[in-house]
Amino acid sequence: MLRWWVAFEAALYTRGDRGQATAEYALVVLGAAAVAMLLIAWATTTGKVSTLLNKMVDSVADRIP
């Protein structure tokens, strides 16, 4: 019984970093999704994106002879 407990305790305290990269990637993806949601919310509530696109199209159209 003691041998089992020692093996269990050793496995518990000496576990590696397996899965740590996966968790970090998941946090980065969640952060990127949150930023994208904020950007989409800002773009839909303000007219600045459509104004920017209109200016870009007008600028390109003015350069065409």
Helical spans, DSSP H, in the chain: 2-13, 20-45, 48-63
Domain residue ranges of the chain, discontinuous segments joined by +? 17-63
Q: What is the pLDDT of residues 21-31, one digit of tens each?
A: 788 899 999 99
Question: What pLDDT, on the 0 to 100 scale, is given for residue 50?
Answer: 86
Instruction: Give the CA diameter of the chain.
Output: 88
For the segment 48-58, what is each residue's pLDDT rounded down to a tens digit? Answer: 888 888 999 99
Query: Which sign, positive or negative, has the C-alpha torsion 15, 16, 18, 24?
Result: positive
